Amino acid sequence: MTEIVLVRHGQANNRATDETGYDRLSPLGVQQADWLGAHMRATDPHFDRVITGTLARQRGTAQAMGYGGGEVDARLDELSYFALAHAVEAQHGIPAPQDATQFARYLPRVIEHWAQDNLDGLPESYESFSTRVTDLLDELSGSGGRVLVVTSGGVIGMAMRHALGLDIGAMSKVMLQVMNSSLHRVHHVHDMLMVGAFNATPHLDAPDRAHARTFI
C-alpha cells in the first residue's frame, strides 16, 4: 500500500497581483506550517519520501514544518491563476471577483473555460496540468511506503478529481474548500486510489487558533 499525504502550503502573500508577488509565505503561513509540523512529529512523523513543487511557498512550508531538504518536482507547481484571470477577463469579459462570495462563483467559470480550451495565450493548457499531476500520482502510487507531498490547492483539487472521478464543476468546488496548511490523505490500495481524508486541520482546530484557518 502507498499512503500519499498532501499538504497545501501555508498562507502566501494574499495581497499580490501576480504570480511572483504571491509566491512567498506570510508570517501566518510560516506559523501554520510550524504548527502542522509539530502535530506530525507528535503523531506519525516518519515519511519514506518528502516531495515539494519548485515554488517558494511550497518549499518554505516544508522547511517550516521541519521536513525541508526533500525532493523537488515541478509537476507539483500550482496552476497559473493570475494568467487565467487575465485571460478570462480579456477574452470573455469576466472581471476578477471582489469578495469571497463572488470568487465562489467565479472560479468554476474560469476552470470551465480553461478545461474547454476557450482561453488563448496561457503558459499551460488544462490538459497539460491534468496530465502532470495525475502522472505523478500514478508514479507515487506504485512506489509503496508513505509519501509527504507539499503542494498547492489546484494540485490537490486535481488529485481529488483523479481519485474520485469528479467532473470539472465538482473539482472546482473542491479547490475552493482547500485551506492553507490543510492535510489530505490518498491511499493506493486494492489497485485503486482511495481518499482517506480531505481538508483536515488538526493543528488549527483549537479555539485559540481559529484566526489561523485561512483559504487565501
Together in a domain, 105 and 18: no
Distance CA 99, CA 109 (A): 16
Together in a domain, 11 and 96: no
pLDDT in tens, 107-120: 999 999 999 999 99
Average pLDDT, rounded, for the chain = 96
**Residue 90's domain spans which residues?**
80-123
Together in a domain, 132 and 65: yes
Together in a domain, 115 and 134: no
Together in a domain, 29 and 56: yes
- Could you tell me what percent of the chain has a pLDDT over 70? 100
Residue 214 lies in a domain: no
pLDDT in tens, 141-188: 988 899 999 999 999 999 999 999 999 999 999 999 999 999 999 999
Structurally, the chain folds into a number of domains equal to 2
Domain end call among 105, 123, 141:
123
> pLDDT confidence of 195, banded at 50, 70, 90?
very high
Q: Which of 60, 11, 1, 52 is nearest to 32 (CA)?
A: 11
pLDDT in tens, 1-21: 899 999 999 999 988 888 999
Q: Which residue has the cell 481518499?
A: 195
Together in a domain, 113 and 27: no
Question: What is the predicted pLDDT for the residue at 100?
Answer: 87
Domain end call among 92, 123, 154:
123
Residue 210 lies in a domain: no
Question: What is the predicted pLDDT for the residue at 15?
Answer: 84
Together in a domain, 19 and 64: yes
Together in a domain, 25 and 119: no
Residue 215 lies in a domain: no
CB environment 130-158: b (16+ within 10 A), e (fewer): bebbbebbeebbeeeeebbbbbbbbbbbb
Grid cell at residue 156: 490537490
